[in-house]
Amino acid sequence: MNQNGLLLGVAAILMGITVVMLISGLAVSPILLVVALPFGAAAYLIWFHASGRLADRVRANPTAYTRSQRDGDAPGSFGAGAFSDGRFSREQTRQNRRRARATGAAAADSRPRLTQREAAGILGVDVGADHAEIKQAYRSKVKTSHPDAPDGDEETFKSVRRAYETLSGE
């Protein structure tokens, strides 16, 4: 019956607080009786889960604990699509990932990607420069263009960062 000792310990502490508040409510103020109710309810729910009775109840009647269908989409899924057997279909997963990449890329940077030539010009290196030269040029440019530097500018810093990402392939 003891599936999770920590949760049972938390439930016991909450039940102790409830008992103390009930006794104090009878002796001091009836308002404490009302305040004790949420503690008692929380203690019961945590105990019900930790003892494994909730899982047994769900296993006995799984249809009572499934999501209802609204407009052909599972509620709470924010339009993620069909959900069956605890998993999305492979095609739905692919569509969700494509959608996330498309919105994530657009939100991350609305500017068009730099060409190799433009990036090399920003960093002041040749187009065919090796990684060590690119890294050295990037570090020297960042030192002067960083917004925390005395003559730093945020837009210049962002363009240097984008140029480095373009040339280094990150």
Residue boundaries of the structural domains of the chain: 5-65, 67-108, 116-168
User: Any idea which fold 116-168 has?
Assistant: Helix Hairpins (1.10.287)
3-state secondary structure of 80: coil
Give the model confidence (pLDDT) of 119-152 as tens digits: 999 999 988 888 899 999 999 999 888 888 888 8
Residue in the block written with tokens 């030539």: 117
- Is the pTM higher than 0.75? The answer reads no
Q: At residue 167, what are phi and psi to the nearest 5 degrees?
A: -75, -35
